[in-house]
Amino acid sequence: MNSKTENLIESLKKKYSNSGEDLNVHLEGLLHSKPITYWDYIQLESLLGIQNPRTKHPDEMVFIVYHQTTELIFKMILWEIDQIAVRKDLNATFFAEKLTRISRYFDLLSNSFEIMNEGMLVEQFMKFRTTLTPSSGFQSAQYRLIEFASTELINLIDIRFRKTINRNTPFEHAYEHLYWQAAGKNHNTGAKSTMLIEFQEKYMDDFITFMKYYHKTNLWTRFKSLPLEIQNELELRNAMRHYDHTVNVKWVMFHYKTAGKYLKSSTKVRATGGSNWQKYMHPKYQKRIFFPDLWSLKEQNQWGIDNLKDYNILTK
Ligand code: HEM
Report the pLDDT averaged over residues 268-295.
84
Gap from CA of 119 to ligand 1 centroid (Å): 18
Full-model pTM: 0.92
**Ligand 1 pocket residue status of 274, Cβ below 6 Å:** yes
Among the CATH numbers 1.10.40, 1.20.1180, 1.20.58, 1.20.1630, which is that of 59-301? 1.20.58
Task: State the sign of the Cα–Cα–Cα–Cα dihedral 131, 136, 141, 143.
Answer: positive
**Ligand 1 pocket residue status of 143, Cβ below 6 Å:** yes
Give the DSSP letter string of 112-153: HTHHHHSSS-HHHHHHHGGGTTT--GGG-HHHHHHHHHHS-G
pLDDT confidence of residue 306: 65
**Ligand 1 pocket residue status of 277, Cβ below 6 Å:** yes
Are 165 and 173 in contact by the 8 Å Cβ rule? The answer is yes
Tell which one of 136, 143, 207 to mutate to probe ligand 1, the residue whose CB is within 8 A of the most ligand atoms: 136
pLDDT confidence of residue 314: 61
- Per-residue pLDDT tens over the stretch 155-207: 999 988 999 998 889 999 999 999 999 999 887 888 999 999 999 999 999 99
- Least Cα distance to 139 among 72, 201, 53, 77 occurs for 201
- Per-residue pLDDT tens over the stretch 116-148: 999 888 988 999 999 999 999 999 999 999 999
Alpha carbons 49 and 28: distance in angstroms, whole number:
35
- Per-residue pLDDT tens over the stretch 25-65: 999 999 999 999 999 999 999 999 999 999 999 999 999 99
**Ligand 1 pocket residue status of 140, Cβ below 6 Å:** yes
Judge whether residue 309 has pLDDT over 80. Answer: no
**Ligand 1 pocket residue status of 77, Cβ below 6 Å:** no
- Least Cα distance to 149 among 92, 202, 99 occurs for 99
Task: Give the H/E segment covering residue 110.
Answer: helix 92-112
Alpha carbons 59 and 70: distance in angstroms, whole number:
17
